[in-house]
Structure 1
Amino acid sequence: MESGRCGGFRASAAAGLLLLLALTGCGAPGNGTYDAGAPPAASAAPSSTTPEATPTRTATAPAPPKTKAPGAAKAPAAVVRPVLPRSKPKALEIPSVGLRTELIHLGLRPNRSLEVPEDTGNGAPASWYDGSPTPGERGPSVILGHVNALGGNKGVFADLRSLNPGADIKVTRADGSTAVFTVERGALYGKDSFPTLEVYGNTAGAELRLITCDGYDPATGLFDDNYVIYAKLKA
């Protein structure tokens, strides 16, 4: 484990609308497309009238009361998920695994790969990718961390695998607030099947992605997989 290297992270902008991140070394980009819905159907043309016709006096039955067509139930209102105003993260805490780490803010290198924290022997701190939403804003906020460290030590995200659904993740923010997220699931992805849009695509509410390396191969000294924790804002 001490010789393992996670590799780099690459990012690219797609039409300025959605930032798609692909992991290299630890993972590989996935593919995905958006499908726009069909436009609403055109309204039927109104029927013509004939004002010249002379009406005849006939007996008519009273019109039946109007009733709703079967199955024409009113569509439920869209759920608006809670979000917080923009505020950069300062620290991350996961009480269930005894983790607390300061967060540094890293961006992209000139070659478009993501900067990762320098390992000085303790595998910390974790880093927030400053091209993603701040924790609590609408969309997936991305935080990266090492799984191991120099000298055979544990990395800051060594225990992500032990997180269970329902566990709390707390992110202290620069405005003094704390964004609390609930773990929904964890997922392991091979480098040839990394689902870029699922991990980094737009979301209806505020979400969090914790990402580290996995699948160490002693033959190559590299990690072949990524482990991702998905969490949603609860407070």
Structure 2
Amino acid sequence: MTATPAGGRHGRPWRAAGAAVVVVLALVGAGLVGASLKSVPAPRPPQPVAAPASTGPAAADVPSPGADPDVAAATGLARSAPTTITIPRIGVDASIMSLGTNPDGTVQVPPLERAQLAGWYEPGPSPGEIGNAVIVGHVDSAEMGPAVFFSLGALQPGDTVTVTREDGQQATFTVESVKAYPKTEFPTEQVYGPGDRPGLRVVTCGGVFDEAAGSYPDNVVVFASMPA
């Protein structure tokens, strides 16, 4: 697996500290379309409803796993690496690469030259295990334009996300909410924190690209769970 961090248009990366991931500024953005298309307005990715302002990133507007006694009794699948992710509503059918952390503690992302791939944060749960599995991907790139999760913000509660695993099993998740967060208020605990049921978090960049800053200001996060 290539551990090269993404380049091009980007903000500061994720940082992992010990077993817990502390998001400084989350998934990096990528370039828009190539120089040959500069005269054509670049497409803008669809955006979900912005999360309400909060006093801190932990106060995410999503249900707290384990709050329901029935949820605590949920059972998951054995650990197995994911191989593909399929999201019918937005036409995603992509291969998944495994990601870890860089020597400086930042979380790896798929390299820009492979922006059609999604990436699974391997130190966390695998999709279908108890806990929150995290899959990340670029919103766009300079070479290919719209990337794997360009339309992630168009998902709605009730949509499905299916992850195929190396053991041949499929884990199908139902979208509970789709939110946009300023990168300074990334909901770290809700994304990387523990859960009492099989959950999935899908993350990409969001907002309007800031040419001056050279980054996207927001992150789009899909919160989904696997029915019991």
TM-score (normalised: structure 1): 0.72
| Distance (Å, rounded) in 1 between the aligned partners of 2:138 and 2:76 | 28
Q: Distance in 2 between matches of 1:178 and 1:78?
A: 23
2:155 matches 1:160: no
Deviations 1:132-157 (A, max 9, x none): 10000011001010001123610100
Give, in whole Å, the separation in 2 of the partners of 1:108 and 1:139: 19
User: Would the alpha carbon gap of residues 106 and 220 (structure 1) be closer, same or farther in structure 2, given more than 3 Å must change?
Assistant: same
Q: Which residue identity lines up with residue 78 of structure 2 in the other structure?
A: P
Could you tell me which residue of structure 1 aligns to residue 21 of structure 2?
A: 20
Confirm or deny that 1:11 pairs with 2:3: no
Residues 110-149 of structure 1 correspond to what in structure 2 (within 5 A)? Answer: 110-120=103-113, 123-149=115-141
Q: Deviations over 1:32-70 (max 9, x none)?
A: 8xxxxxxxxxxxxxxxxxxxxxxxxxxxxxxxxxxxxxx
Query: Aligned residues: percent identity?
Result: 35
Q: Classify 1:180/1:186 alpha carbon distance in 2 versus 1 (closer, same or farther; 3 Å).
A: same
| Structure (1 or 2) with the greater helix fraction | 2
Equivalent pair of 2:11/2:214 in contact (CA under 8 Å): no
- Alpha-carbon shift at residue 186 of structure 1 (Å): 0.6
Query: What amino acid sits opposite 2:23 in the alignment?
Result: A
C-alpha contact 2:85 2:164 (8 A) present in aligned 1:
yes
How far residue 21 of structure 1 moved from its aligned partner, in angstroms, is 3.4
Residue 102 to residue 222, structure 1, CA distance change in 2 (3 Å): same
Q: Is the 8 A contact 2:16 2:23 kept in 1?
A: yes
Give the direction of change, closer, same or farther, for the CA distance of 1:26–1:95 in structure 2 (3 Å limit): closer
Q: Distance in 2 between matches of 1:95 and 1:137?
A: 22
1:169 aligned residue:
161
Deviations 1:114-146 (A, max 9, x none): 1111111x6220100111100000110010100
Q: Residue 126 of structure 1 contacts residue 145 of structure 1 at CA under 8 Å; is this kept in 2?
A: yes
Gaps of 5+ in 1: 33-75
The equivalent of 1:209 in structure 2 is 201
Q: Give the equivalent residue in structure 2 for 1:191.
A: 183
**1:114 counterpart SS class:** coil
Q: 1:220 aligns with which of 200, 205, 213?
A: 213
RMSD of aligned C-alpha atoms? 2.4
Amino acid at match of 1:211: V
Measured after TM superposition, the shift of residue 31 of structure 1 is: 5.6
What is aligned with 2:81?
A: 88
Q: What's the TM-score, normalizing by structure 2?
A: 0.74
Counterparts of 1:205 and 1:5, CA distance in 2: 33
Q: Is the 8 A contact 1:146 1:157 kept in 2?
A: yes
Q: Deviations over 1:208-230 (max 9, x none)?
A: 00000112212222111111000
**Residue of structure 2 in register with 1:230 after alignment:** 223
* Structure 1 stretch displaced more, 155-164 or 144-153: 144-153
Q: Tell me, in whole angstroms, the C-alpha distance in 2 between the residues paired with 1:204 and 1:177.
A: 20
Offset, 1:26: 5.2
Give the partner amino acid of 1:170.
T
Partner Cα distance (1:188, 1:198) in 2: 13
Q: Secondary structure at the match of 2:134?
A: strand
Report the residue type matching 1:21 in the other structure: V
